[in-house]
Protein backbone atom coordinates (compact mmCIF):
# COMPACT_ATOMS: atom_id res chain seq x y z
CA UNK A 1 0.00 0.00 0.00
CA UNK A 2 1.26 3.47 -0.87
CA UNK A 3 1.70 6.22 1.67
CA UNK A 4 -1.51 8.00 2.61
CA UNK A 5 -2.14 11.44 1.12
CA UNK A 6 -2.78 13.04 4.47
CA UNK A 7 -1.77 11.50 7.71
CA UNK A 8 -2.69 12.97 11.07
CA UNK A 9 -0.88 11.44 14.00
CA UNK A 10 -1.66 11.97 17.65
CA UNK A 11 -2.77 15.53 17.02
CA UNK A 12 -3.40 17.54 20.17
CA UNK A 13 -5.00 20.96 19.95
CA UNK A 14 -5.16 23.04 23.12
CA UNK A 15 -8.02 25.36 24.05
CA UNK A 16 -7.57 28.63 25.96
CA UNK A 17 -8.04 28.57 29.72
CA UNK A 18 -11.67 28.73 30.77
CA UNK A 19 -13.01 26.53 27.96
CA UNK A 20 -15.07 23.47 28.85
CA UNK A 21 -12.07 21.20 28.39
CA UNK A 22 -8.32 21.68 28.04
CA UNK A 23 -7.91 20.03 24.63
CA UNK A 24 -10.23 20.52 21.66
CA UNK A 25 -8.53 17.64 19.92
CA UNK A 26 -6.89 15.04 22.09
CA UNK A 27 -4.61 12.62 20.29
CA UNK A 28 -6.45 12.06 17.03
CA UNK A 29 -4.82 9.85 14.41
CA UNK A 30 -6.29 9.30 10.98
CA UNK A 31 -5.26 8.86 7.34
CA UNK A 32 -6.83 10.06 4.12
CA UNK A 33 -5.69 8.20 1.00
CA UNK A 34 -5.85 9.48 -2.55
CA UNK A 35 -9.17 8.69 -4.21
CA UNK A 36 -11.28 8.10 -1.12
CA UNK A 37 -13.78 9.96 1.03
CA UNK A 38 -13.15 9.90 4.74
CA UNK A 39 -15.97 11.17 6.91
CA UNK A 40 -15.24 12.79 10.22
CA UNK A 41 -18.47 12.51 12.20
CA UNK A 42 -19.38 13.76 15.64
CA UNK A 43 -21.60 16.16 17.54
CA UNK A 44 -20.90 19.84 17.86
CA UNK A 45 -17.95 20.36 20.16
CA UNK A 46 -16.39 17.02 19.29
CA UNK A 47 -13.35 18.69 17.72
CA UNK A 48 -14.05 17.75 14.11
CA UNK A 49 -13.83 21.26 12.72
CA UNK A 50 -10.73 22.01 14.77
CA UNK A 51 -9.02 19.01 13.23
CA UNK A 52 -9.83 20.23 9.74
CA UNK A 53 -8.75 23.77 10.48
CA UNK A 54 -5.48 22.52 11.98
CA UNK A 55 -4.64 20.85 8.66
CA UNK A 56 -4.79 24.19 6.86
CA UNK A 57 -3.27 26.21 9.70
CA UNK A 58 -6.54 28.09 10.17
CA UNK A 59 -6.92 27.64 13.92
CA UNK A 60 -8.27 30.63 15.85
CA UNK A 61 -5.73 32.80 17.65
CA UNK A 62 -6.04 31.43 21.17
CA UNK A 63 -6.11 27.83 19.96
CA UNK A 64 -2.81 26.13 19.23
CA UNK A 65 -1.65 22.72 18.13
CA UNK A 66 0.30 21.35 21.09
CA UNK A 67 1.58 18.09 19.73
CA UNK A 68 1.41 15.42 17.07
CA UNK A 69 1.99 15.61 13.35
CA UNK A 70 0.00 16.39 10.24
CA UNK A 71 1.89 14.91 7.30
CA UNK A 72 1.04 15.87 3.74
CA UNK A 73 3.34 15.19 0.80
CA UNK A 74 6.11 14.01 3.11
CA UNK A 75 6.18 17.12 5.31
CA UNK A 76 4.78 18.02 8.70
CA UNK A 77 2.31 20.84 8.12
CA UNK A 78 2.50 21.95 11.75
CA UNK A 79 6.13 22.99 11.31
CA UNK A 80 6.18 24.77 7.97
CA UNK A 81 6.53 28.56 7.65
CA UNK A 82 3.44 30.66 6.79
CA UNK A 83 4.39 31.42 3.19
CA UNK A 84 4.72 27.74 2.36
CA UNK A 85 1.37 27.08 4.02
CA UNK A 86 -0.15 29.79 1.83
CA UNK A 87 1.28 28.12 -1.24
CA UNK A 88 -0.39 24.85 -0.23
CA UNK A 89 -3.76 26.33 0.70
CA UNK A 90 -6.13 26.52 -2.23
CA UNK A 91 -3.55 24.79 -4.37
CA UNK A 92 -2.87 21.25 -3.21
CA UNK A 93 -5.29 21.36 -0.30
CA UNK A 94 -8.60 23.13 -0.74
CA UNK A 95 -11.49 23.69 1.62
CA UNK A 96 -15.24 24.17 1.36
CA UNK A 97 -17.05 25.85 4.24
CA UNK A 98 -20.43 25.37 5.82
CA UNK A 99 -22.04 28.72 5.09
CA UNK A 100 -21.77 29.55 1.38
CA UNK A 101 -23.27 33.00 1.92
CA UNK A 102 -20.55 34.23 4.25
CA UNK A 103 -17.70 32.41 2.54
CA UNK A 104 -18.04 34.47 -0.65
CA UNK A 105 -17.16 38.15 -0.89
CA UNK A 106 -20.54 39.83 -1.40
CA UNK A 107 -19.12 42.72 -3.43
CA UNK A 108 -17.19 40.77 -6.08
CA UNK A 109 -18.52 38.87 -9.07
CA UNK A 110 -18.32 35.11 -8.50
CA UNK A 111 -16.36 34.43 -11.69
CA UNK A 112 -13.73 36.88 -10.60
CA UNK A 113 -13.49 35.30 -7.17
CA UNK A 114 -12.89 31.87 -8.65
CA UNK A 115 -10.41 33.32 -11.15
CA UNK A 116 -8.53 34.99 -8.34
CA UNK A 117 -7.72 31.70 -6.68
CA UNK A 118 -6.25 30.48 -9.98
CA UNK A 119 -4.20 33.64 -10.48
CA UNK A 120 -2.69 33.57 -7.02
CA UNK A 121 -1.15 30.17 -7.52
CA UNK A 122 -1.07 29.91 -11.25
CA UNK A 123 0.93 30.84 -14.24
CA UNK A 124 -1.98 31.25 -16.62
CA UNK A 125 -2.78 34.20 -18.83
CA UNK A 126 -6.01 36.11 -18.27
CA UNK A 127 -7.71 34.45 -21.22
CA UNK A 128 -6.73 31.03 -19.94
CA UNK A 129 -8.05 31.87 -16.49
CA UNK A 130 -11.40 32.96 -17.91
CA UNK A 131 -11.66 29.77 -19.95
CA UNK A 132 -10.75 27.71 -16.89
CA UNK A 133 -13.42 29.42 -14.78
CA UNK A 134 -16.04 28.64 -17.42
CA UNK A 135 -14.89 25.04 -17.53
CA UNK A 136 -15.07 24.75 -13.74
CA UNK A 137 -18.54 26.27 -13.60
CA UNK A 138 -19.63 23.68 -16.14
CA UNK A 139 -18.08 20.89 -14.12
CA UNK A 140 -19.86 21.81 -10.90
CA UNK A 141 -23.15 21.85 -12.75
CA UNK A 142 -23.97 25.54 -12.67
CA UNK A 143 -26.58 26.35 -15.30
CA UNK A 144 -25.46 28.77 -18.04
CA UNK A 145 -21.85 29.31 -16.86
CA UNK A 146 -21.21 32.09 -19.38
CA UNK A 147 -23.69 34.44 -17.75
CA UNK A 148 -23.28 33.24 -14.16
CA UNK A 149 -19.60 34.22 -13.97
CA UNK A 150 -20.64 37.86 -13.86
CA UNK A 151 -23.28 37.35 -11.15
CA UNK A 152 -22.89 38.59 -7.59
CA UNK A 153 -23.24 36.11 -4.70
CA UNK A 154 -26.60 37.54 -3.58
CA UNK A 155 -28.08 36.74 -7.00
CA UNK A 156 -27.44 33.02 -6.52
CA UNK A 157 -29.33 30.48 -4.43
CA UNK A 158 -27.65 28.71 -1.52
CA UNK A 159 -27.02 25.61 -3.59
CA UNK A 160 -25.54 27.62 -6.45
CA UNK A 161 -23.26 29.48 -4.05
CA UNK A 162 -22.02 26.22 -2.65
CA UNK A 163 -21.30 25.07 -6.22
CA UNK A 164 -19.29 28.24 -6.76
CA UNK A 165 -17.36 27.48 -3.56
CA UNK A 166 -16.66 23.99 -4.86
CA UNK A 167 -15.52 25.40 -8.21
CA UNK A 168 -13.18 27.70 -6.33
CA UNK A 169 -11.83 24.81 -4.27
CA UNK A 170 -11.24 22.72 -7.38
CA UNK A 171 -9.65 25.55 -9.34
CA UNK A 172 -6.09 24.33 -8.90
CA UNK A 173 -6.77 20.60 -9.03
CA UNK A 174 -6.16 19.96 -5.35
CA UNK A 175 -5.08 16.54 -4.20
CA UNK A 176 -6.97 16.89 -0.97
CA UNK A 177 -10.36 18.51 -0.47
CA UNK A 178 -11.56 19.35 3.03
CA UNK A 179 -15.31 19.84 3.25
CA UNK A 180 -16.49 21.29 6.56
CA UNK A 181 -20.23 20.54 6.86
CA UNK A 182 -20.76 21.74 3.26
CA UNK A 183 -24.43 20.75 3.14
CA UNK A 184 -25.64 21.53 6.64
CA UNK A 185 -27.01 24.94 5.68
CA UNK A 186 -28.81 23.60 2.62
CA UNK A 187 -32.25 22.11 1.96
CA UNK A 188 -32.53 18.34 1.63
CA UNK A 189 -32.96 18.35 -2.14
CA UNK A 190 -30.04 20.73 -2.64
CA UNK A 191 -28.01 18.71 -0.16
CA UNK A 192 -28.61 15.62 -2.26
CA UNK A 193 -27.35 17.39 -5.41
CA UNK A 194 -24.23 18.76 -3.70
CA UNK A 195 -23.41 15.38 -2.18
CA UNK A 196 -23.73 13.71 -5.59
CA UNK A 197 -21.55 16.42 -7.10
CA UNK A 198 -18.80 16.03 -4.52
CA UNK A 199 -18.83 12.26 -4.92
CA UNK A 200 -18.66 12.43 -8.73
CA UNK A 201 -15.90 15.03 -8.74
CA UNK A 202 -13.95 13.00 -6.22
CA UNK A 203 -14.18 9.93 -8.45
CA UNK A 204 -13.23 11.62 -11.72
CA UNK A 205 -10.35 13.54 -10.17
CA UNK A 206 -9.22 10.80 -7.81
CA UNK A 207 -8.98 13.27 -4.97
CA UNK A 208 -8.78 12.52 -1.30
CA UNK A 209 -11.71 14.09 0.53
CA UNK A 210 -11.96 14.74 4.26
CA UNK A 211 -15.67 15.29 4.79
CA UNK A 212 -16.90 16.68 8.08
CA UNK A 213 -20.50 16.18 9.09
CA UNK A 214 -22.73 15.55 12.07
CA UNK A 215 -25.29 13.66 10.02
CA UNK A 216 -24.92 9.88 9.95
CA UNK A 217 -27.28 9.80 6.98
CA UNK A 218 -24.80 11.79 4.93
CA UNK A 219 -22.01 9.49 6.06
CA UNK A 220 -23.95 6.47 4.89
CA UNK A 221 -24.38 8.06 1.48
CA UNK A 222 -20.85 9.08 0.63
CA UNK A 223 -18.20 7.77 2.99
CA UNK A 224 -15.55 5.25 2.12
CA UNK A 225 -14.18 5.26 5.62
CA UNK A 226 -15.57 6.79 8.81
CA UNK A 227 -13.90 8.32 11.83
CA UNK A 228 -16.24 8.88 14.78
CA UNK A 229 -15.15 11.62 17.17
CA UNK A 230 -16.30 12.42 20.66
CA UNK A 231 -14.84 14.99 23.05
CA UNK A 232 -11.76 15.33 20.85
CA UNK A 233 -10.97 11.63 20.79
CA UNK A 234 -11.45 9.01 18.10
CA UNK A 235 -14.13 6.63 19.31
CA UNK A 236 -14.17 4.31 16.37
CA UNK A 237 -12.82 4.25 12.82
CA UNK A 238 -12.92 1.91 9.90
CA UNK A 239 -14.61 1.18 6.58
CA UNK A 240 -17.99 2.87 6.37
CA UNK A 241 -19.84 -0.36 5.72
CA UNK A 242 -18.22 -2.04 8.71
CA UNK A 243 -18.69 0.79 11.17
CA UNK A 244 -22.26 1.57 10.18
CA UNK A 245 -23.47 -2.01 9.93
CA UNK A 246 -21.65 -3.34 12.96
CA UNK A 247 -20.83 -0.46 15.24
CA UNK A 248 -18.52 -1.66 17.98
CA UNK A 249 -18.64 1.37 20.20
CA UNK A 250 -21.81 2.18 22.10
CA UNK A 251 -21.47 5.86 21.22
CA UNK A 252 -21.58 5.06 17.50
CA UNK A 253 -24.66 2.95 18.16
CA UNK A 254 -26.25 5.84 20.07
CA UNK A 255 -25.56 8.18 17.17
CA UNK A 256 -27.13 5.75 14.73
CA UNK A 257 -30.16 5.22 16.94
CA UNK A 258 -30.65 8.94 17.41
CA UNK A 259 -31.23 9.58 13.71
CA UNK A 260 -34.90 10.49 13.47
CA UNK A 261 -37.45 9.02 11.15
CA UNK A 262 -37.07 5.30 11.73
CA UNK A 263 -39.70 4.63 14.33
CA UNK A 264 -43.13 3.50 13.35
CA UNK A 265 -45.29 6.18 11.87
CA UNK A 266 -48.07 7.38 14.13
CA UNK A 267 -51.34 5.90 13.06
CA UNK A 268 -53.20 9.13 13.64
CA UNK A 269 -56.73 9.36 14.81
CA UNK A 270 -59.50 10.21 12.47
CA UNK A 271 -61.40 12.35 14.94
CA UNK A 272 -62.81 15.58 13.74
CA UNK A 273 -62.45 18.24 16.42
CA UNK A 274 -60.77 21.19 14.81
CA UNK A 275 -58.87 23.51 17.14
CA UNK A 276 -57.12 25.64 14.57
CA UNK A 277 -58.52 26.16 11.10
CA UNK A 278 -56.86 28.15 8.36
CA UNK A 279 -58.83 28.98 5.25
CA UNK A 280 -57.48 30.50 2.05
CA UNK A 281 -54.61 32.33 3.74
CA UNK A 282 -52.75 34.78 1.51
CA UNK A 283 -49.53 36.68 2.11
CA UNK A 284 -47.13 38.36 -0.30
CA UNK A 285 -44.01 40.12 0.93
CA UNK A 286 -43.16 43.12 -1.21
CA UNK A 287 -39.75 44.69 -0.80
CA UNK A 288 -38.42 47.66 -2.68
CA UNK A 289 -34.71 48.24 -3.13
CA UNK A 290 -35.26 51.90 -3.91
CA UNK A 291 -38.14 54.23 -4.68
CA UNK A 292 -37.94 53.67 -8.42
CA UNK A 293 -36.92 50.01 -8.50
CA UNK A 294 -39.51 47.41 -9.37
CA UNK A 295 -40.72 45.87 -6.09
CA UNK A 296 -39.65 42.30 -5.43
CA UNK A 297 -42.56 40.00 -4.58
CA UNK A 298 -42.17 36.87 -2.52
CA UNK A 299 -45.24 34.72 -2.11
CA UNK A 300 -45.30 33.29 1.42
CA UNK A 301 -48.84 31.97 1.43
CA UNK A 302 -51.02 31.32 -1.57
CA UNK A 303 -54.40 29.98 -0.57
CA UNK A 304 -53.38 27.84 2.37
CA UNK A 305 -56.09 25.63 3.88
CA UNK A 306 -55.37 23.45 6.84
CA UNK A 307 -56.89 22.12 10.02
CA UNK A 308 -55.27 21.15 13.28
CA UNK A 309 -57.44 18.81 15.32
CA UNK A 310 -57.46 18.79 19.09
CA UNK A 311 -54.73 16.58 20.53
CA UNK A 312 -53.12 16.07 17.14
CA UNK A 313 -49.70 16.96 15.85
CA UNK A 314 -49.67 18.53 12.43
CA UNK A 315 -46.28 18.79 10.77
CA UNK A 316 -45.71 21.43 8.13
CA UNK A 317 -42.79 20.35 5.94
CA UNK A 318 -41.06 22.39 3.26
CA UNK A 319 -37.77 23.79 2.10
CA UNK A 320 -36.51 27.21 3.10
CA UNK A 321 -38.54 29.88 1.40
CA UNK A 322 -41.64 27.69 1.21
CA UNK A 323 -43.47 29.97 3.64
CA UNK A 324 -43.75 27.57 6.55
CA UNK A 325 -42.25 29.89 9.17
CA UNK A 326 -44.36 32.79 7.93
CA UNK A 327 -47.36 30.55 8.40
CA UNK A 328 -46.51 30.02 12.09
CA UNK A 329 -46.00 33.74 12.60
CA UNK A 330 -49.26 34.57 10.88
CA UNK A 331 -51.17 32.17 13.13
CA UNK A 332 -49.81 34.08 16.15
CA UNK A 333 -50.34 37.43 14.43
CA UNK A 334 -46.63 38.26 14.62
CA UNK A 335 -47.06 38.91 10.89
CA UNK A 336 -50.35 40.13 9.48
CA UNK A 337 -51.71 38.05 6.59
CA UNK A 338 -53.08 39.79 3.48
CA UNK A 339 -56.28 37.78 3.33
CA UNK A 340 -57.93 34.61 4.58
CA UNK A 341 -59.36 33.33 7.85
CA UNK A 342 -57.70 31.85 10.90
CA UNK A 343 -60.07 30.35 13.42
CA UNK A 344 -58.86 29.21 16.82
CA UNK A 345 -61.30 27.42 19.07
CA UNK A 346 -64.19 28.90 17.13
CA UNK A 347 -63.01 32.51 17.33
CA UNK A 348 -61.50 34.46 14.49
CA UNK A 349 -57.87 35.24 15.23
CA UNK A 350 -57.60 38.00 12.68
CA UNK A 351 -60.38 39.98 14.35
CA UNK A 352 -58.75 39.86 17.79
CA UNK A 353 -57.45 43.00 19.40
CA UNK A 354 -55.84 43.99 22.67
CA UNK A 355 -56.90 41.75 25.54
CA UNK A 356 -58.47 39.07 23.34
CA UNK A 357 -55.24 38.76 21.37
CA UNK A 358 -53.25 38.51 24.59
CA UNK A 359 -55.50 35.74 25.89
CA UNK A 360 -55.24 33.93 22.56
CA UNK A 361 -51.45 34.12 22.58
CA UNK A 362 -51.48 32.60 26.02
CA UNK A 363 -53.29 29.57 24.67
CA UNK A 364 -51.10 29.24 21.57
CA UNK A 365 -47.43 29.31 22.46
CA UNK A 366 -44.42 29.08 20.19
CA UNK A 367 -40.95 27.55 20.43
CA UNK A 368 -38.50 29.09 17.99
CA UNK A 369 -35.75 27.54 15.91
CA UNK A 370 -32.64 29.13 17.29
CA UNK A 371 -32.30 28.56 21.03
CA UNK A 372 -29.42 31.05 21.06
CA UNK A 373 -31.57 33.88 19.72
CA UNK A 374 -34.84 33.19 21.48
CA UNK A 375 -33.73 33.82 25.07
CA UNK A 376 -32.99 37.36 26.21
CA UNK A 377 -29.21 37.25 26.83
CA UNK A 378 -29.43 39.82 29.62
CA UNK A 379 -32.11 38.12 31.68
CA UNK A 380 -31.78 35.22 34.06
CA UNK A 381 -33.66 32.11 33.00
CA UNK A 382 -36.12 32.41 35.88
CA UNK A 383 -36.85 36.00 34.99
CA UNK A 384 -37.50 35.08 31.35
CA UNK A 385 -40.00 32.40 32.33
CA UNK A 386 -41.91 34.13 35.13
CA UNK A 387 -42.72 37.22 33.10
CA UNK A 388 -45.26 35.21 31.13
CA UNK A 389 -47.40 34.04 34.06
CA UNK A 390 -46.96 37.42 35.75
CA UNK A 391 -48.26 39.19 32.66
CA UNK A 392 -51.44 37.20 33.27
CA UNK A 393 -51.77 38.22 36.86
CA UNK A 394 -49.90 35.51 38.75
CA UNK A 395 -48.11 36.70 41.87
CA UNK A 396 -44.36 36.66 41.78
CA UNK A 397 -44.15 33.71 44.19
CA UNK A 398 -46.69 31.68 42.17
CA UNK A 399 -44.84 32.44 38.94
CA UNK A 400 -41.55 31.28 40.42
CA UNK A 401 -43.22 28.08 41.62
CA UNK A 402 -44.63 27.50 38.11
CA UNK A 403 -41.25 28.18 36.53
CA UNK A 404 -39.54 25.77 38.92
CA UNK A 405 -42.09 23.08 38.21
CA UNK A 406 -41.65 23.38 34.46
CA UNK A 407 -37.88 23.54 34.60
CA UNK A 408 -37.94 20.31 36.56
CA UNK A 409 -40.35 18.80 34.09
CA UNK A 410 -38.05 19.53 31.16
CA UNK A 411 -35.19 18.00 33.10
CA UNK A 412 -33.23 21.04 34.24
CA UNK A 413 -34.03 21.59 37.91
CA UNK A 414 -34.59 24.68 39.99
CA UNK A 415 -30.98 25.83 40.07
CA UNK A 416 -31.39 26.93 36.44
CA UNK A 417 -33.54 29.83 37.63
CA UNK A 418 -30.66 32.04 38.62
CA UNK A 419 -28.42 31.40 35.65
CA UNK A 420 -28.00 33.20 32.35
CA UNK A 421 -28.74 31.70 28.92
CA UNK A 422 -25.08 31.62 27.86
CA UNK A 423 -24.36 29.11 30.62
CA UNK A 424 -26.46 26.49 28.86
CA UNK A 425 -25.92 24.31 25.81
CA UNK A 426 -28.19 24.49 22.77
CA UNK A 427 -30.28 21.53 23.82
CA UNK A 428 -30.71 22.87 27.36
CA UNK A 429 -31.74 26.26 26.03
CA UNK A 430 -34.37 24.65 23.84
CA UNK A 431 -35.71 22.89 26.96
CA UNK A 432 -35.86 26.27 28.67
CA UNK A 433 -37.81 27.68 25.73
CA UNK A 434 -40.23 24.79 25.97
CA UNK A 435 -40.62 25.40 29.71
CA UNK A 436 -41.23 29.07 29.03
CA UNK A 437 -43.93 28.28 26.48
CA UNK A 438 -45.65 25.65 28.62
CA UNK A 439 -45.59 27.69 31.82
CA UNK A 440 -48.52 29.64 30.38
CA UNK A 441 -50.61 26.48 30.16
CA UNK A 442 -51.29 26.63 26.43
CA UNK A 443 -53.61 24.30 24.56
CA UNK A 444 -51.66 24.61 21.32
CA UNK A 445 -47.91 24.60 20.88
CA UNK A 446 -46.29 25.85 17.69
CA UNK A 447 -42.79 24.51 17.20
CA UNK A 448 -41.00 26.45 14.49
CA UNK A 449 -38.03 24.28 13.46
CA UNK A 450 -37.62 23.68 17.18
CA UNK A 451 -35.07 20.89 16.79
CA UNK A 452 -33.31 21.90 13.58
CA UNK A 453 -30.39 23.65 15.24
CA UNK A 454 -29.63 20.72 17.53
CA UNK A 455 -27.34 17.70 17.25
CA UNK A 456 -29.03 14.42 16.39
CA UNK A 457 -28.78 12.90 19.85
CA UNK A 458 -30.06 16.08 21.49
CA UNK A 459 -32.72 16.31 18.80
CA UNK A 460 -33.97 12.86 19.75
CA UNK A 461 -34.18 13.85 23.42
CA UNK A 462 -36.08 17.07 22.72
CA UNK A 463 -38.50 15.26 20.37
CA UNK A 464 -39.16 12.70 23.07
CA UNK A 465 -39.70 15.45 25.64
CA UNK A 466 -42.17 17.16 23.33
CA UNK A 467 -44.18 14.05 22.62
CA UNK A 468 -44.23 13.08 26.33
CA UNK A 469 -45.42 16.52 27.36
CA UNK A 470 -47.95 16.51 24.59
CA UNK A 471 -49.40 13.21 25.71
CA UNK A 472 -49.46 14.37 29.34
CA UNK A 473 -51.11 17.71 28.76
CA UNK A 474 -53.25 16.82 25.76
CA UNK A 475 -51.60 19.54 23.72
CA UNK A 476 -52.20 20.09 20.07
CA UNK A 477 -49.05 20.83 18.14
CA UNK A 478 -48.22 22.61 14.91
CA UNK A 479 -44.76 21.36 14.13
CA UNK A 480 -42.83 23.16 11.45
CA UNK A 481 -39.73 21.49 10.01
CA UNK A 482 -37.70 21.09 6.85
CA UNK A 483 -36.79 17.55 7.81
CA UNK A 484 -39.19 14.78 6.81
CA UNK A 485 -37.37 12.43 9.17
CA UNK A 486 -38.31 14.61 12.12
CA UNK A 487 -41.88 14.98 10.91
CA UNK A 488 -42.13 11.21 10.71
CA UNK A 489 -41.12 10.89 14.36
CA UNK A 490 -43.76 13.16 15.75
CA UNK A 491 -46.61 13.93 13.38
CA UNK A 492 -50.12 12.53 13.03
CA UNK A 493 -50.77 14.50 9.87
CA UNK A 494 -48.32 16.09 7.48
CA UNK A 495 -48.68 19.09 5.20
CA UNK A 496 -46.03 19.56 2.51
CA UNK A 497 -45.50 23.13 1.34
CA UNK A 498 -43.68 24.56 -1.64
CA UNK A 499 -43.50 28.23 -2.61
CA UNK A 500 -46.36 29.23 -0.35
CA UNK A 501 -48.71 26.49 -1.59
CA UNK A 502 -49.75 23.22 -0.04
CA UNK A 503 -48.75 20.46 -2.45
CA UNK A 504 -49.86 17.53 -0.35
CA UNK A 505 -51.75 17.00 2.85
CA UNK A 506 -52.23 13.54 4.29
CA UNK A 507 -52.11 11.32 7.35
CA UNK A 508 -48.48 10.62 8.20
CA UNK A 509 -48.75 6.89 7.46
CA UNK A 510 -50.31 7.51 4.04
CA UNK A 511 -47.75 10.12 3.12
CA UNK A 512 -44.79 7.90 3.80
CA UNK A 513 -46.39 4.79 2.29
CA UNK A 514 -47.73 6.36 -0.85
CA UNK A 515 -46.73 9.96 -1.48
CA UNK A 516 -49.03 11.44 -4.10
CA UNK A 517 -47.28 14.64 -5.10
CA UNK A 518 -44.16 14.58 -7.23
CA UNK A 519 -42.52 17.10 -4.90
CA UNK A 520 -43.11 14.93 -1.84
CA UNK A 521 -41.47 12.02 -3.62
CA UNK A 522 -38.47 14.19 -4.42
CA UNK A 523 -38.19 15.26 -0.78
CA UNK A 524 -38.40 11.66 0.37
CA UNK A 525 -35.74 10.56 -2.09
CA UNK A 526 -33.42 13.33 -0.98
CA UNK A 527 -33.32 12.24 2.67
CA UNK A 528 -29.67 11.41 3.33
CA UNK A 529 -28.82 7.82 4.15
CA UNK A 530 -32.25 6.63 3.10
CA UNK A 531 -31.13 3.35 1.55
CA UNK A 532 -28.83 2.58 4.44
CA UNK A 533 -31.48 3.09 7.08
CA UNK A 534 -34.06 1.14 5.13
CA UNK A 535 -31.61 -1.78 4.93
CA UNK A 536 -30.89 -1.36 8.61
CA UNK A 537 -34.57 -1.34 9.51
CA UNK A 538 -35.16 -4.48 7.48
CA UNK A 539 -32.19 -6.18 9.11
CA UNK A 540 -33.47 -5.08 12.50
CA UNK A 541 -36.90 -6.49 11.72
CA UNK A 542 -35.54 -9.90 10.78
CA UNK A 543 -33.39 -10.28 13.89
Partner 1 sequence: MQGFMRTFLSRPAGGVGLVLLALVCLLAIVAPLLYPVSPWEMVGIPFSRPGENGMLLGSDTLGRDIAAGIVHGARVSILIGFASTATALGIGVLLGCIAGYAGGAVDAAIVRFTEIFQTIPSFVLAILFVAILTPSITTIILAIGLVSWPPLSRLTRAQVKTVSQREFVQAARCQGQSTISVVLRHVLPNAVSPIIVAGSLTVAAAILIEAALSFMGLGDPNFMSWGYMIGAGRTVIRQAWWMSVFPGIAILLTVVAINLVGEALNDTLNPRISRA
| Residue from 222, 256, 228 nearest 30 by CA | 228
**Residue 291 CB partners (closer than 8 Å, separation 6+):** none
For residue 426, is it left (φ>0), alpha (ψ between -120 and 50) or beta?
Answer: alpha
Strand runs labelled E in 486-527 = 493-498, 501-507
Q: Provide the 10 A C-beta neighbour count for residue 298.
A: 14
Query: How far is Cα 459 from Cα 452, in angstroms, rounded to an integer?
Result: 8
CB distance 110 to 153 below 8 Å: yes
Q: State phi, psi for 98 to the nearest 5 degrees.
A: -70, -45
Q: According to CB under 8 A, which one of 46, 369, 428, 505 is a site residue for partner 1?
A: 369
* 110 forms part of the interface with partner 1 (CB under 8 A): no
Cβ-based nearer residue to partner 1, 360 or 533? 360
Query: How far is Cα 311 from Cα 163, in angstroms, rounded to an integer?
Result: 44
* 267 forms part of the interface with partner 1 (CB under 8 A): no
Cβ-based nearer residue to partner 1, 214 or 361? 361
CB distance 103 to 133 below 8 Å: no
* 433 forms part of the interface with partner 1 (CB under 8 A): yes
Shortest distance, position 363 Cβ to partner 1, whole Å: 10
Cβ-based nearer residue to partner 1, 18 or 82? 18
Binding part of the chain for partner 1, among 214-222, 314-322, 329-337, 515-523 by CB under 8 A, reads 329-337
Half-sphere exposure of 198 (CA within 13 A, CB side): 36
Cβ-based nearer residue to partner 1, 34 or 401? 401
Binding part of the chain for partner 1, among 68-76, 341-349, 387-395, 399-407 by CB under 8 A, reads 387-395
Q: According to CB under 8 A, which one of 83, 294, 353, 378 is a site residue for partner 1?
A: 378
Binding part of the chain for partner 1, among 39-47, 175-183, 260-268, 326-334 by CB under 8 A, reads 326-334
CA distances to 16, 155, 260, 295 from 291, rounded to whole Å, are 50, 20, 47, 9
Cβ-based nearer residue to partner 1, 68 or 337? 337
Angle between helices 110-121 and 126-139 (to 10 degrees): 120
Q: According to CB under 8 A, which one of 332, 400, 462, 478 is a site residue for partner 1?
A: 332
Cβ-based nearer residue to partner 1, 258 or 412? 412
**Residue 247 CB partners (closer than 8 Å, separation 6+):** 236, 253, 256
Q: According to CB under 8 A, which one of 135, 257, 338, 376 is a site residue for partner 1?
A: 376
* 391 forms part of the interface with partner 1 (CB under 8 A): yes
Restricting to residues 344-363, name those near partner 1 by CB under 8 A.
358-359, 361-362
Shortest distance, position 106 Cβ to partner 1, whole Å: 19
* 521 forms part of the interface with partner 1 (CB under 8 A): no
Shortest distance, position 391 Cβ to partner 1, whole Å: 4
* 368 forms part of the interface with partner 1 (CB under 8 A): yes
Binding part of the chain for partner 1, among 29-37, 90-98, 293-301, 366-374 by CB under 8 A, reads 366-374
CB distance 40 to 19 below 8 Å: no
CA distances to 324, 330, 338 from 333, rounded to whole Å, are 14, 5, 12
**Residue 63 CB partners (closer than 8 Å, separation 6+):** 13, 14, 15, 16, 24, 50
Binding part of the chain for partner 1, among 197-205, 246-254, 377-385, 450-458 by CB under 8 A, reads 377-385
Q: According to CB under 8 A, which one of 188, 216, 306, 375 is a site residue for partner 1?
A: 375
Q: CA angle, corner 83, sides to 81 and 89, nearest 5?
A: 105
Q: According to CB under 8 A, which one of 48, 192, 230, 436 is a site residue for partner 1?
A: 436
The distance of Cα 476 from the centroid of its chain, to the nearest Å, equals 25
Cβ-based nearer residue to partner 1, 179 or 432? 432
Q: According to CB under 8 A, which one of 183, 307, 365, 498 is a site residue for partner 1?
A: 365
Cβ-based nearer residue to partner 1, 126 or 336? 336
Q: Count the helix, strand and coil residues of the chain and give each as a percent rounded to the nearest 5.
A: 40, 25, 35
Size of the site for partner 1 (CB under 8 A): 28
Q: According to CB under 8 A, which one of 374, 402, 476, 498 is a site residue for partner 1?
A: 374
| Residue from 492, 486, 373, 374 nearest 435 by CA | 374
Residues engaged in binding partner 1 (CB under 8 A): 329, 332, 334, 358-359, 361-362, 365-366, 368-370, 373-379, 384, 387-388, 391-392, 433, 436-437, 440
Amino acid sequence: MTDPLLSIEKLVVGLPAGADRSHAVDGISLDVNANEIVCLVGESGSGKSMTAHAVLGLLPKQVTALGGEIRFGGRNLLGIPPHEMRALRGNQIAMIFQEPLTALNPLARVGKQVGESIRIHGRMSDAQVDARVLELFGQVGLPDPASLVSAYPFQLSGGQRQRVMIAMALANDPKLLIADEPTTALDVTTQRQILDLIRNLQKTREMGVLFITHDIGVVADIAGRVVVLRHGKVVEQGLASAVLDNPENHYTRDLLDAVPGRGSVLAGSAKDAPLLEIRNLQKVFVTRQSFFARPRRVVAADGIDLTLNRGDTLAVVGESGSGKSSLARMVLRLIEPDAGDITFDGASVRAMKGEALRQFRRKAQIVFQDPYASLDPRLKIGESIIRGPMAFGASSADAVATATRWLEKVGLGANALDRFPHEFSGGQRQRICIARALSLDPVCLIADEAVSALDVSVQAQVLKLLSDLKAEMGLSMLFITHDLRVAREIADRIVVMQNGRIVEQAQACDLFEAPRAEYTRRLLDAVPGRDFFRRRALAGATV
